[in-house]
Amino acid sequence: MAADRAVDTRVRVGSVELAHAVMTAAGTSGHGAELARYCDLSGLGAVVVKSLSVMPWPGNPAPRLHPLPDGMINSVGLQGPGVAGWFDEFFPELVTSRCRVVISLWGRSLDEYRQAALAVADGLRRAGRAADGVVAVEVNLSCPNLEGRRGIFAHDAELSAAVIDASVAAMSGATRPVWAKLSPNTDRLVEIAGAVRGAGAEAVTLVNTVLGLVLDPETGRAVLGNGGGGVSGRIIHPVAQRAVFDVASAHPDLPIVGVGGVSSAAEAVALLQAGASAVQVGTATFADPRAPATVARDLVTWAAAHGITRLSDLTGVAHRGGIHPLPPAQG
Ligand SMILES: Cc1cc2nc3c(=O)[nH]c(=O)nc-3n(C[C@H](O)[C@H](O)[C@H](O)COP(=O)(O)O)c2cc1C
């Protein structure tokens, strides 16, 4: 235990200093402080709330979740109260829990993203000092562009850059950095990461879910009400490792938040080694709501056992030859 206390858990994601490298992932810990009854949210790096749109949104038809070996497929469809409703209904409880908060937003057109970001900036202004714990805004780019019918925003460098540019402009004055959350369902991830950075994203969050479909062999129909969905959990962890590694190789100065299949310290370590400055825990929370706190605790134990005194030293180890300091001598 004494060794654990010797590990400095603080990390930086761009201009944001977090007390710990482990946070929750958008959409997997509710709209607010739902996890507070299972763990001390203030001990996590941050709570990333479910993506919010400018208007309340009903989401997709049920069933919305389906378990898979080592993960799940979902088509929740971003159900939510809208930014203003969220500030009224869910934000106060997060303030009470004294955690750092990342607000995630989404839209179906460039203008909806802009409006959502303006609404967030307005909510932060109204909240005043109560919003001090809100450290960043994460823009979820894995949404279809209904207006232009040009596919998913996150699969197009130009569109992604336009959304980030609009979000950064809308947030100006609100003094919170914008992170761009990208999709793994493209072979242009490295280029898209460069484009959002050029448009003002201070960090990228890698990755959102992997496109999938599960049919029920008895009916020949999709198990999810919306047809296809997004695959998440341990099953996608190698996809997340690859995404983080490739983007870190191409953009060594771009801060990365790694997400995808982190359910134990081992996966958190791997994403940090691949180049992430911090990690998020998503699907693992459905099996065990204490998962983010458990991963946070076990990561520190792992670091102490490996003679690592700062979690931030793990970032990018794989790009530096993959060697850790030797573990301390026993006995
Ligand atoms: C049920 C569910 C809902 C999600 N909702 C969101 C969301 O609102 N916004 C978002 O950016 N990502 C959302 N995600 C994606 C996760 O934040 C995460 O990027 C992805 O699941 C990979 O991490 P994991 O394997 O740890 O779950 C959701 C994932 C799941 C499983």
Q: What is the pLDDT of residues 28-69, one digit of tens each?
A: 998 989 999 999 999 999 999 999 999 999 888 899 999 999
Cα 309 to ligand 1 centroid, rounded to whole Å: 31
Give me 151's structure tokens.
Answer: 């596919």
To test the ligand 1 pocket, which listed residue (152, 179, 208) has its Cβ within 8 A of the most ligand atoms? 208
Reported pTM: 0.96
Q: Choose one of 22, 24, 28 to mutate for the ligand 1 pocket test, by most ligand atoms within 8 angstroms of C-beta.
A: 28
Whether residue 325 has pLDDT greater than 80: no
Report how far Cα 251 is from the mean position of its chain's Cα atoms: 19
51 in contact with ligand 1, CB cutoff 6 A: yes
Please write the tens of the pLDDT for every residue from 65-100: 999 999 999 998 888 999 999 999 999 999 999 999
Contact (Cβ atoms closer than 8 angstroms) between residue 149 and residue 114: no
Percent of the chain with pLDDT over 90: 89
- Mean pLDDT over all residues of the chain? 94
Question: Measuring from atom 31 of ligand 1, which residue has the nearest CA?
Answer: 283
Q: What is the residue-wise DSSP string for 239-276?
A: HHHHHHHHHHHH-TTS-EEEESS--SHHHHHHHHHHT-
List the residue whose alpha carbon is closest to atom 23 of ligand 1. 260
CA neighbor of 270 nearest in space, from 245, 235, 304, 246: 245
b/e code 52-83 from CB counts within 10 Å (16+ = b):
bbbbebeebeeebebebeebbbbbbbbbbbbb
Burial class (CB in 10 A: 0-12, 13-18, 19+), 85: middle
Is 70 exceeded by the pLDDT of residue 221?
yes
- CATH label, 2-61+76-214+231-320, candidates 3.20.20.70, 2.60.120.10, 3.30.200.20, 3.30.70.60: 3.20.20.70
Catalytic entry in 33, 134, 143, 244: 143
| Integer angstrom CA distances of residue 8 from 21, 174, 215 | 10, 30, 47
